[in-house]
Amino acid sequence: MPIIGNITYDELEIGDSASYSRTLTEEEILLFASISGDVNPVHLDPEFAGKSVFKERVAHPMWSGALISTAVANIMPGPGTIYREQFLKFLRPIKIGDILTVTIKVTEKLPRDRVLLDCSVINQNNEHVVEGTAKVIAPTEEIRIEQPALPNVKLESNGNGK
């Protein structure tokens, strides 16, 4: 298994940045609905979504927040980080097949191991999808650990998709 590690408060420097990319699939929309209970038809009902301002099904906007939190928790600062605050400004819808790239950047180091991060998410057309800021407590001790495996997930039909 690969190793997951962190960057401590002392190691972080203003201007340091990290990126994380992921493609939106229909499965991810369905799973996000499952774990949140958000069954808004603009995400789940192709017919309703087709008549909406978006013209097709779109991701739950908070999925982009989940991707930002992944960049923070897995890459920079990584394991041992404590998440304190997140501001998100949703600028564009996310459609199936969109490739999102999250970039986070250290903008300020505060006392008591606090760090401010600028967060931006763009799609494959370089359009800004989300902008935001995060405040975290960075780890003070180095962590290197075997990366936990993800579960295998299977979805079964539910009668939507008319």
| Encoded tokens for 36 | 């949140």
Q: Which of 7, 12, 18, 65 binds a copy of itself (CB under 8 A)?
A: 65
CB 73 within 8 A of CB 117: no
User: For a copy of itself, which is the closer residue by CB, 16 or 28?
Assistant: 28
Please give the Cα distance from 133 to 118 (Å, whole number). Answer: 5
**Which amino acid, one-letter code, is at 37?**
G
Secondary structure, 3-state, 43-72: HHCHHHHHHCCCCCCECCCHHHHHHHHHHH
Q: Which stretch binds a copy of itself (CB under 8 A): 10-18, 103-111, 119-127, 153-161?
A: 153-161
User: For a copy of itself, which is the closer residue by CB, 44 or 122?
Assistant: 44
157's CB contacts (< 8 A; 6+ apart) are none
Q: Which stretch binds a copy of itself (CB under 8 A): 10-18, 35-43, 103-111, 120-128?
A: 35-43
For position 40 contacting a copy of itself by CB under 8 A, the verdict is yes
Chain residues binding a copy of itself by CB under 8 A are 4, 20, 22, 28, 30-42, 44-45, 48, 52-53, 60-63, 65-70, 73-74, 78-80, 82-90, 145, 147-160
